[in-house]
């Protein structure tokens, strides 16, 4: 995803980041198979107002069905 403009403040300062909990990056697991592989969650945010534009699973194929 390459957002060009913040929908809240119209800034073009959109950055990519990772959500962390303590010392570790937060991971997504499959709902149907929580013991399967996981994938880190990335986010895009506005560095001017702090609005989070979206959350994305970095490797969705790791989650399976």
Tens digits of residue pLDDT in 35-65 = 778 888 889 999 999 999 998 888 888 777 6
Local structure of residue 31 (DSSP, 8 states): S
* Calpha distance 65→57 (Å, rounded): 14
**Maximum CA extent, the chain:** 41
Residue 28: which of 8, 56, 65, 2 has the closest Cα?
56
Predicted pLDDT of residue 52: 93
Task: Take residue 13 and report the two structure tokens written for it.
Answer: 């300062």
Predicted pLDDT of residue 1: 58
Q: What is the distance between the terminal CA atoms of the chain, rounded to a whole angstrom? A: 23
* Calpha distance 30→65 (Å, rounded): 7
């Amino acid at each position: 995803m390459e957002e060009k403009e913040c929908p809240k403040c119209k800034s073009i300062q959109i950055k990519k980041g990772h959500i962390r909990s303590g010392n570790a990056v937060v991971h997504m697991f499959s709902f149907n198979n929580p013991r399967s592989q996981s994938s880190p969650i990335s986010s895009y945010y506005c560095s001017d107002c702090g609005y989070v534009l979206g959350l994305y699973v970095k490797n969705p194929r790791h989650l399976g069905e």
